[in-house]
Amino acid sequence: MAKGMREIKREIKSKQSTKQITKAMEMVAASRLRRAQEAAEAARPYADKLKEVVGSIAAGTKGVKHPMLQNREVKRTGYLVVTSDRGLAGGYNANVLRKVMAEIKERHSSPSEYAVFVIGRKGRDFFNKRNISIVEEVVGLSDSPTFADIRPVAAAAVKNFENGSYDQLYLVYNKFVNAITQIPTMKQLLPMEDMSGAVVSNYEYEPSPEGVLEVLLPKYAETLIYSAVLDGKASEFGARMTAMSNATKNATKMISGLTLSYNRARQAAITQEISEIVAGANAQA
């Protein structure tokens, strides 16, 4: 019985140490979530304004035939997948990767029919283990990534569409709703949505509307990718905060259960010792 009590006490100490770690990680994720959420919200007005300008030019210019606005027969599809570098974030990475793999299995019968771009170490390792080749990757992003950090993969994804390497480009990421809810999202990035119904503004463009569109369209697509990365960061910290909060609660329940078992074992040991003392006294009487 004494040995059992020592084992229980050791388990209680172990669970208490784990609880301290998960609680600390929860607090760190909560503090980072606020900054990531602010960054994600701050990027949206810029993307919205770019969309307004691009839509105005596209709708007001007759005969625009930029490849990023043209639908074509789909022979090959590109996927840009946004994941995290670290785990311990609940289903954050698994949900996104499950979604893109379901899409790939449903739509494609051969690896030659799709191309994969990855942001985040978890996504890179996932595809490497399944022998899925990655065209371009970015790993090791900071908690507050800049546009320059993700521009190589964003520019490569857009350029490959422009030069015809594939005919569609999908962006797969976790859309941030709040600290508890993150929605795995897949949306078509290229070709861009029909902008013929956009509001036409009375601007003068130099050197020409077509020339401005040629510069703005790739930047707009890259900005949407960056905005998705910021959304992904906020989602990551929200998911990690929730996961660590649940882990802390589970550790508390386990400690309570072990403490109850320890007290019962201790009480049983004391009762047994008292019984032995009483039995010894009766034997001597």
pLDDT value at residue 223: 92
User: Residue 74 corresponds to which amino acid?
Assistant: V
pLDDT value at residue 119: 97
Q: Is there a domain that residue 207 lies in?
A: yes
Q: Is there a domain that residue 18 lies in?
A: no
Q: Is there a domain that residue 211 lies in?
A: yes
pTM: 0.86
Total count of domains within the chain:
1
Low-confidence spans in the chain with pLDDT less than 70: 1-3, 60, 62-64, 194-201, 284-285
The CATH number that applies at residue 145 is 3.40.1380.10
Q: Is there a domain that residue 204 lies in?
A: yes
Range of the structural domain that residue 168 is part of: 26-242
pLDDT value at residue 10: 92
Give pLDDT tens digits for 26-56.
Answer: 999 999 999 999 999 898 888 888 888 887 8
